[in-house]
């Protein structure tokens, strides 16, 4: 008898005591009858989140690192422990709505060419969160990562990159989407890693989606499954900070790794 769960849920926690319990609580309502496991990897938090997890959810697997290993490496730790046919990579500031995992599982079962599924993300007030992106090109970088974007917030380049002129109500193949919530088919993954560990923080999601496409898998936005994402963006605070620096370093690593890659202009 195969005792492996159908689904493995991997959550990376770092000082997320304000969110983690709400996130874990919503898992029960997101699917019905599917065997699953929950793996939380803590990247050396100094808040009370680990204590809260142990107190409220003593039976889930909690891996406590003695230092911050970065997001990609922590996800890979969870992946090596995971047994599921499908994998849900989840940020602690995401809350799943009822039936969302069942819907994503059903879609992947009926569409074997899809390797990665991105749900519809909404803000806590119910408004749409622009979670899909086109791949970066030089003009996109200028408008998204320099003051130009503040001066021209409605520029065509920004609107195209954020896919702002699409109603997000249809199932659609996309370039990539935010790594806050990714539903993956294990069959589409090679080796013992999901993310490239050269990316400490940021661009690991862009890199994964690009690799999926290069290997013949589709990356699909699926609005029938809905999640609430608080989206705490540290890199948006101030002109220079640690998160912004990590974002810039990951951008350089991405282009060095994928030298010669030319994004399509859609």
pLDDT tens column, 174-187: 999 999 999 999 99
45 contacts 76 by C-beta, under 8 angstroms: no
Instruction: Report d(CA 82, CA 148) in Å as an integer.
Output: 43
Q: How confident is the model at residue 144 (pLDDT cuts 50, 70, 90)?
A: confident
pLDDT at 93 over 50: yes
Total Cβ atoms within 10 A of residue 126: 8
Task: Output the pLDDT for position 191.
Answer: 86
Task: Output the pLDDT for position 2.
Answer: 57
Domain extent at residue 89: 7-130+168-232
Pair of tokens at residue 244: 């912004």
Q: Decide if 181 is inside a domain.
A: yes
pLDDT tens column, 220-264: 999 999 999 997 654 444 445 566 777 778 777 777 777 766 665
Q: Decide if 121 is inside a domain.
A: yes
Number of domains in the chain: 1
Q: Decide if 182 is inside a domain.
A: yes
Q: Decide if 211 is inside a domain.
A: yes
- What angle do helix axes 242-257 and 204-214 make, rounded to 10 degrees? 20
Contacts (Cβ under 8 Å, ≥6 apart) of 111: 218, 220
pLDDT at 107 over 50: yes
pLDDT at 32 over 60: yes
Q: Decide if 150 is inside a domain.
A: no
Task: Output the pLDDT for position 259.
Answer: 74
Task: Output the pLDDT for position 265.
Answer: 43
Q: Decide if 92 is inside a domain.
A: yes
Using alpha carbons, list the distances in angstroms from residue 238 to 1, 144, 147, 212. 55, 14, 11, 33
Q: Decide if 245 is inside a domain.
A: no
Read off the pLDDT of each residue in 129-148 and give the average, rounded to a whole number.
82
Task: Output the pLDDT for position 176.
Answer: 95
**CATH number, domain at 211?**
3.90.550.10
Task: Output the pLDDT for position 78.
Answer: 97
Q: Decide if 95 is inside a domain.
A: yes
């Amino acid at each position: 008898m195969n005792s492996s769960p159908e689904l493995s849920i991997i959550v990376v926690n770092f000082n997320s005591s304000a969110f983690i319990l709400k996130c874990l609580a919503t898992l029960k309502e997101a699917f019905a009858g599917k065997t699953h496991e929950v793996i939380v990897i803590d990247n050396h938090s100094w808040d009370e989140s680990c204590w809260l997890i142990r107190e409220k959810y003593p039976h889930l697997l909690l891996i406590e690192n003695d230092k911050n290993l970065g997001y990609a490496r922590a996800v890979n730790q969870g992946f090596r422990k995971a047994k599921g046919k499908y994998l849900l990579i989840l940020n602690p500031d995401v809350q799943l709505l009822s039936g969302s995992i069942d819907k994503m599982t059903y879609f992947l079962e009926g569409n074997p060419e899809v390797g990665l599924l991105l749900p519809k993300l909404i803000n806590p007030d119910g408004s749409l969160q622009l979670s899909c992106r086109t791949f970066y090109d030089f003009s996109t970088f200028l408008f998204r990562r320099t003051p130009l974007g503040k001066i021209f917030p409605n520029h065509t380049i920004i609107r195209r990159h954020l896919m702002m002129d699409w109603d997000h109500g249809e199932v659609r193949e996309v370039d990539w989407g935010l790594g806050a919530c990714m539903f993956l088919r294990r069959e589409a993954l090679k080796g013992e890693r999901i993310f490239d560990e050269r990316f400490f923080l940021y661009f690991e999601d862009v890199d994964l989606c690009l690799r999926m496409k290069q290997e013949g898998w589709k990356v699909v936005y699926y609005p029938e499954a809905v999640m609430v994402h608080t989206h705490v963006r540290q890199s948006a605070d101030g002109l220079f900070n640690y998160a912004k620096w990590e974002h810039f370093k990951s951008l350089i690593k991405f282009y060095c790794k994928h030298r010669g890659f030319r994004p399509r202009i859609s």
